[in-house]
Amino acid sequence: MPVTQDASLRYLPFAGFFFVATAARAVLLSILPLKALSLLGSAQHVSVLFFIVSICGIGISLGVYSALRRISLQVGFLVSLLMMTASILLLFSNNLWAFSAGMVFHIFGITSMEVILNLYVMQRIPRNQLSKFEPWRMVAAVVALSIGPWLGVYLQSTYADWLPYTVAIAGVILTLIYFRGLGLHRLEIRRTRTASNLIRNIKRFLDQPRLRLAWILTLARSGWWQLFIIYTPIYAVHSGLGELWGSAIVSIGSAWTLTVPFWGWVARRYSLRFLMRTGFLMTSLVTTAVFIFAGSPTIAVALLILAALGATMLDGSGHVLFLRAVRSSERTEMAGVYQTYRDAANLAVPGIFAVLLKFFSLPVVFAGGAVWMTAAAVTSKYIPKRM
pLDDT range class, residue 4, cuts 50, 70, 90: very low
Residue 372 forms part of a structural domain: yes
Residue 6 forms part of a structural domain: no
Count of domains forming the chain: 1
pLDDT (0 to 100) of residue 69: 66
Residue 17 forms part of a structural domain: yes
Residue 4 forms part of a structural domain: no
Residue 183 has pLDDT above 80, yes or no: no
**Cα dihedral 339→345→351→357 (10° resolution):** -170
pLDDT range class, residue 2, cuts 50, 70, 90: very low
pLDDT (0 to 100) of residue 197: 67
Span 301-321, mean pLDDT? 85
- What range defines the domain where residue 39 resides? 12-185+197-382
Read off the pLDDT of residues 7-37 as tens digits, 9 standing for 90 and up.
456 677 777 788 888 888 888 888 888 898 8
Residue 190 forms part of a structural domain: no
Residue 184 has pLDDT above 60, yes or no: yes
Span 317-328, mean pLDDT? 75
Looking at the chain, list the stretches that DSSP marks H as alpha helix, in order from N- to C-terminal side: 2-10, 12-26, 31-40, 43-67, 73-91, 96-124, 130-158, 163-181, 198-206, 209-238, 243-255, 260-270, 272-292, 297-315, 320-325, 331-338, 340-359, 364-379
Residue 23 forms part of a structural domain: yes
Residue 68 has pLDDT above 70, yes or no: no
Could you tell me the CATH number of the domain that includes residue 138? 1.20.1250.20
Residue 2 forms part of a structural domain: no
pLDDT (0 to 100) of residue 80: 87
- Find out whether 70 and 125 touch, Cβ atoms under 8 Å: no
Residue 3 forms part of a structural domain: no
Tell me how many degrees the CA angle 186-176-70 measures, rounded to the nearest 5. Answer: 50
Higher pLDDT, 230 or 6: 230
